[in-house]
Chains A and B, each alone.
Chain A
Amino acid sequence: MIRDASLRTRLFDWTLVIVLLLIAFLCLLPIWYTLAVSLSEKSAASAGQVWLWPVGFNFNSYEQIMNDGRFFHSFWISIQRVAIGAAITILVTTLMAYPLSRNARDFRLRNVFMWILVFTLLFNGGLIPWYMTVKALGLYNTIWGLVLGGGVPVFNVILIVNYFRNLPKELDEAALVDGAGPWKMLFSIYVPLAVPVLATVTLFTIVYHWNEFFHGLVLTSGQDNYPLQTFIQQLVVVVDASNMTEDQYKRLNELSNQTLNAAKIFIAMIPVLLVYPFLQRFFIHGITLGSVKE
C-alpha cells in the first residue's frame, strides 16, 4: 500500500492512461495489420510472417487492382448509391421530421403518423415478403433498389424530430409574426439550426449505403451489378466449404490471395476513413441532443 496520496493518484492516472491507450490501440490494430499485409510480399503474408510492418514492401497488390475493371465498376456503383441515397434520405427525412415535430394542437394527425412510423420499427414482415415486394415494385437490378430497398430510416427521422422539438418555441412565434409559411420556416430557420443532427444523419446514411452488402447480393442479378461491399464479400468471405474436409479448408486458407484481398479491403475502408474525421465532431452532439426529450 502506497501511503503518499499524491503518488498514489499519479500511479492511478498513469495506469489508466496506459490501459486506455492499449484499448484504443487495439481498435486500430486490425486496420493497421490489413494495411501491412496489403503492402507485403505474397509469400511472406501466406507464411504468416507479417505482424505490424510489411515484409518485402511492394505495391503489387494495388497495381493489380488498378487494372481490375470489375473492382472499379463496383466501386462506381457504390459511389452512385451513396450519392443518390444520401441526397434522397436527407431531403425526405428532413421533410418528414418538420410536420412530425409540430404539436398535436398545430397538426392534429401528428401522433397518428408518428405511431405508424414507430410501428414499422416494432414489426416487420420478414425477409421473404420484403423481397417479393421489392421485386414486384420493379426495383430488382436497378440502382433504385439499392437506394430505396432499405426503407425509410425511421431512427434518423426520430432523431431529427426530437432535435427540432428541442429548439426554442419563440423561433416559431417570431417567424409567424414575420409571415413565414411552413416551407420558409423549415428551410430558413430549422435546417440551419439543426446542422449537427443533419450532419449526424448524413454520416449515418453515407456509412449505411457504403457498407450495405446484403441488398447488393439479393437485389441484383450478379457480379456486373454488385456494389463494392458485395463484390468484396463474394471474393473474400464466401467460401463454399460445404463438402470440404478440414485439411482442404486449411489448404484453401493458405492458397487464398491474402495480400490482394487485404488491399481490396483497405481500399473499401478508405471512404469511411475519409468522411469520419470531418463528421465525427458533429455526431456525439447530434446523437445526444436528438435523443433527449422534454
Chain B
Amino acid sequence: MRNRSFTKHYYFMLLPGFVWLVLISIVPMFGIVIAFEDYNPGQGFFRSEWIGLENFEYMFDLNDTVQIFRNTVFIAVMKIVANLIVPLAFAIMLNELRFTSMKRWIQTLVYLPHFLSWVILSGILLDIFSYTGPVNNLLSVFGVDPILFFARADLFPYIVVGSDVWKEFGFNTIIYLAALTGINPSLYEAASIDGASRLRRIWHVTLPGLRTTIVLLAVLSLGNVLNAGFDQIFNLYNPMLYSTGDIIDTWVYREGLLNMQYGLATAVGLLKSVVSFILIVVSYVLASKFANYRIF
C-alpha cells in the first residue's frame, strides 16, 4: 500500500535525527585521518602533516600498548562471563520463587543499581573499601590486617568485575525472565508427574528452555571484548593501579586529551574501533545464523 505523497513526509520526520547523527557520529568517522597525521589543532585535519603509519609503528613499540590491551581484554572477558552466569542463576532462583508479590519487590530492588552512575557508585565503593571502611572493619573481625584496596594492583581487576556484576546482574536478568515466560508450563507438569525433583526440573526443563537465549547473549557479548568499562575504571583507578587497571579507553583519554598526543591516541582508538567492528559483525552473523537473531 505504497503512497507516494507520504514519502516526502517520511523524509521530514527523519531529517532532525539524521542531521544529528551525521554531525556527531558520522563526521568523526572521517576524523580518523588524524591517526595518519602529525596532527596540529591549529592546522586542522587537512593541513596537518601526513606521516602515514608512523603513529602505528610508534604504538607497537610502546610497552604501554601491550599492557593496556591485555588489561582491557582480561577485565572485559571476566565481565562478560560473570555477567552471563550470575544473572542466569539469579533468574532461575527468582523463577522458582512462589510468592509473586515478593518476587516483584525483589526485582524492583535488584534493578536499581543499574540506574545509578559510576561516579556515585565509585564514590561509595572508595568509601566502603577505604582503609577504615566497613570492609576492612569486617575483615578485622576475622583477624585480617586492614588492606589498602585501592593501592593493590593485584586486586583491582577483581574489584572492578565484582562491582560491575553487583551493578548489572539485576538488570541483566530481565532478558532471561522474559525467556522464562516462554517455557510451556505443561513441561513442568509432565516432569513432576514423572517424579522429577525441583532441581531436576531446573536442569531438564528450565535450562534447555533458556539455551537459545544463553547462546544468543554469549555471542552478542563478543563485541564487548575491548570494552572494559571506561566510566567505572576512570572513577576508581589511580596511578598505583595502572599496571593492571589501565585500559585502552582511559589511556586514550590521558594520552589524547591530557597529553595532547592526538595522532597516537587516535591511532590506538582506531585500532580498538576496527577490532570491535570485526568482532561485532562476526557476532551478528553468528547470532543470525544460529539463533535467527535480527537487530531490526
Please indicate the chain B residues that have their CB under 8 angstroms from the CB of A20 in the complex. Answer: 93-94, 97, 102, 106
Interface size of B by CB at 8 A reads 103
- Measured between alpha carbons, how far is A168 from B34 in the docked complex, in Å? 49
* Given A123-B277, A237-B235, CB of A151 within 8 Å of CB of B110: no
The answer to whether A126 and B270 touch across the interface, beta carbons within 8 angstroms, is: yes
The answer to whether B20 and A148 touch across the interface, beta carbons within 8 angstroms, is: yes
The answer to whether B31 and A92 touch across the interface, beta carbons within 8 angstroms, is: no
Within B111-136, the residues touching A (CB, 8 Å) are 111-113, 115-128, 130-134, 136
The answer to whether A27 and B112 touch across the interface, beta carbons within 8 angstroms, is: yes
- Measured between alpha carbons, how far is A262 from B257 in the docked complex, in Å? 30
Q: Which of A25, A125, A211 contacts B119 (CB 8 A)?
A: A211
* Given A126-B272, A182-B13, CB of A152 within 8 Å of CB of B25: yes
The answer to whether A27 and B113 touch across the interface, beta carbons within 8 angstroms, is: yes
- Measured between alpha carbons, how far is A92 from B14 in the docked complex, in Å? 8
Q: Separation in Å of the B284 CB from the closest CB of chain A?
A: 8
- Measured between alpha carbons, how far is A182 from B269 in the docked complex, in Å? 42
Please indicate the chain B residues that have their CB under 8 angstroms from the CB of A272 in the complex. Answer: 115-116
Please indicate the chain B residues that have their CB under 8 angstroms from the CB of A143 in the complex. Answer: none
The answer to whether B115 and A34 touch across the interface, beta carbons within 8 angstroms, is: no
Please indicate the chain B residues that have their CB under 8 angstroms from the CB of A19 in the complex. Answer: 93
B98 touches A (CB below 8 Å): yes
The answer to whether A127 and B265 touch across the interface, beta carbons within 8 angstroms, is: yes
- Measured between alpha carbons, how far is A273 from B111 in the docked complex, in Å? 12
The answer to whether B25 and A124 touch across the interface, beta carbons within 8 angstroms, is: yes
A258 touches B (CB below 8 Å): yes
A66 touches B (CB below 8 Å): no
Within B76-96, the residues touching A (CB, 8 Å) are 90, 93-94, 96
The answer to whether B106 and A21 touch across the interface, beta carbons within 8 angstroms, is: yes
In the complex, the chain B residue whose C-beta lies closest to that of A111 is: B296
B209 touches A (CB below 8 Å): no
Q: Separation in Å of the B198 CB from the closest CB of chain A?
A: 6
Within A270-284, the residues touching B (CB, 8 Å) are 272-273, 276-277, 280, 284
- Measured between alpha carbons, how far is A114 from B17 in the docked complex, in Å? 12
Q: Separation in Å of the A174 CB from the closest CB of chain B?
A: 12
Please indicate the chain B residues that have their CB under 8 angstroms from the CB of A254 in the complex. Answer: 131-132
B41 touches A (CB below 8 Å): yes
The answer to whether A125 and B273 touch across the interface, beta carbons within 8 angstroms, is: yes
The answer to whether B110 and A288 touch across the interface, beta carbons within 8 angstroms, is: no
The answer to whether B106 and A24 touch across the interface, beta carbons within 8 angstroms, is: yes
**Segment touching B, from A54-62, A69-77, A79-87, A100-108:** A100-108
Q: Separation in Å of the A220 CB from the closest CB of chain B?
A: 13
Within B7-31, the residues touching A (CB, 8 Å) are 7, 9-11, 13-14, 16-18, 20-21, 23-31
The answer to whether B269 and A128 touch across the interface, beta carbons within 8 angstroms, is: yes
In the complex, the chain B residue whose C-beta lies closest to that of A34 is: B124
B32 touches A (CB below 8 Å): yes
A250 touches B (CB below 8 Å): yes
A253 touches B (CB below 8 Å): yes
A192 touches B (CB below 8 Å): no
The answer to whether A213 and B231 touch across the interface, beta carbons within 8 angstroms, is: yes
* Given A17-B97, A132-B41, A161-B296, CB of A28 within 8 Å of CB of B112: yes
**Segment touching A, from B63-71, B153-161, B248-256:** B248-256
Q: Which of A133, A172, A265 contacts B123 (CB 8 A)?
A: A265
In the complex, the chain A residue whose C-beta lies closest to that of B33 is: A129
Please indicate the chain B residues that have their CB under 8 angstroms from the CB of A102 in the complex. Answer: 10
Q: Separation in Å of the B253 CB from the closest CB of chain A?
A: 6
The answer to whether B120 and A265 touch across the interface, beta carbons within 8 angstroms, is: yes
- Measured between alpha carbons, how far is A133 from B110 in the docked complex, in Å? 39
The answer to whether B127 and A262 touch across the interface, beta carbons within 8 angstroms, is: yes
- Which residue among B17, B18, B178, B294 has the maximum number of chain A CB atoms within 10 Å of its CB? B17
**What are 6 A-B pairs with beta-carbon distances under 8 A?**
A23-B90, A31-B116, A34-B127, A129-B28, A133-B28, A250-B148
Beyond contacts A125-B269, A265-B120: 20 other A-B pairs, Cβ-Cβ < 8 A, are A24-B106, A27-B109, A34-B124, A47-B132, A48-B137, A51-B134, A96-B17, A96-B18, A118-B295, A126-B32, A127-B257, A129-B31, A132-B31, A157-B17, A212-B117, A214-B234, A229-B120, A253-B130, A284-B107, A293-B294
